[in-house]
């Protein structure tokens, strides 16, 4: 309950602006299937869920914060989008096997979920993942290294997936341009042989 209160308070005090989808999803929306089931895991205000629903997918959005999910439901209703929300503390056993064609995770890291996430993807399913790294340039996001990716860590967290895209600029080149604080990953669950 303490974690839920923390996130409810965080979302209660945020300025009300339309939620944005993760860059990795927004820039790669052409990879989305034309139909299927999608999960926005640890969805927050649901920018990813809204984009997925607009793309014609059947969307579930899970988060611990009732406040965030209420805001998402309001946004979805205003846009006439059907999104199923679920308030929960996410645990590996909650993720059904081979249930989703798309899973999106942004700005959330729980390494204990990785195997369950891969198992929850149907064959050919896509994982879009974007979250903060330990080499971030500004203080946005968590400071606890348990919730920050080590260098190139996303490449090793989902070994059963085929790599489609990876980006981690960190401190290379012109530090005033590009996504410097987060790594981005797209992986696909291989089809059975």
- Residues 46 and 26: their CA atoms lie apart, in Å, by 13
Q: What is the mean pLDDT of the chain?
A: 90
Asked if residue 160 has pLDDT above 70, the reply is yes
More confident residue, 114 or 7: 114
The confidence score (pLDDT) of residue 17 equals 73
pLDDT band at 13 (very low <50, low <70, confident <90, very high): confident
- Residues 76 and 190: their CA atoms lie apart, in Å, by 32
Asked if residue 87 has pLDDT above 80, the reply is yes
The confidence score (pLDDT) of residue 42 equals 95
pLDDT band at 134 (very low <50, low <70, confident <90, very high): confident
Among 58, 41, 175, which residue's Cα sits nearest to residue 108? 41
Asked if residue 105 has pLDDT above 90, the reply is yes
Check if the beta carbon of residue 184 is closer than 8 Å to that of residue 168.
yes
User: Other CB atoms closer than 10 Å to residue 150's CB: what's the count?
Assistant: 12
Topology of the domain covering 2-188: Rossmann fold (3.40.50)
The confidence score (pLDDT) of residue 4 equals 80
The confidence score (pLDDT) of residue 8 equals 81
Among 62, 56, 59, 63, which residue's Cα sits nearest to residue 37? 59
- Residues 21 and 28: their CA atoms lie apart, in Å, by 11
pLDDT band at 60 (very low <50, low <70, confident <90, very high): very high
Residue-range domain boundaries for the chain: 2-188
pTM for the full model?
A: 0.91
Q: What is the pLDDT of residues 175-189, one digit of tens each?
A: 565 675 889 999 999
The confidence score (pLDDT) of residue 172 equals 61
Q: What is the pLDDT of residues 16-49, one digit of tens each?
A: 677 899 999 999 999 999 999 999 999 999 999 9
User: How far is residue 170 CA from its own chain's centroid?
Assistant: 20
């Amino acid at each position: 309950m303490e974690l839920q209160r923390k996130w409810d308070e965080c979302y209660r005090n945020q300025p009300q602006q339309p939620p944005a989808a993760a860059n990795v999803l927004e820039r790669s929306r052409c990879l989305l299937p034309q139909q299927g089931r999608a999960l926005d895991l640890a969805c927050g205000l649901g920018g990813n869920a809204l984009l997925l629903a607009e793309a014609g997918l059947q969307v579930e959005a899970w988060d611990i914060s009732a406040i965030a999910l209420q805001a998402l439901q309001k946004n979805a209703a205003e846009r006439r989008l059907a999104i199923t929300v679920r308030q929960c503390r996410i645990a590996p056993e909650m993720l059904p096997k081979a249930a989703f064609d798309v899973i999106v995770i942004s700005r959330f890291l729980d390494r204990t979920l990785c195997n369950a996430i891969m198992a929850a993807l149907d064959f050919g399913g896509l994982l879009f993942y974007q979250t903060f790294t330990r080499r971030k340039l500004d203080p946005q996001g968590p400071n606890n290294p348990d919730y920050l990716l080590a260098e190139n860590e996303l490449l090793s967290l989902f070994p059963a997936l085929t790599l489609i895209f990876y980006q981690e600029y960190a401190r290379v080149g012109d530090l005033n341009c590009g996504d410097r604080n987060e790594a981005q990953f797209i992986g696909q669950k291989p089809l059975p042989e």
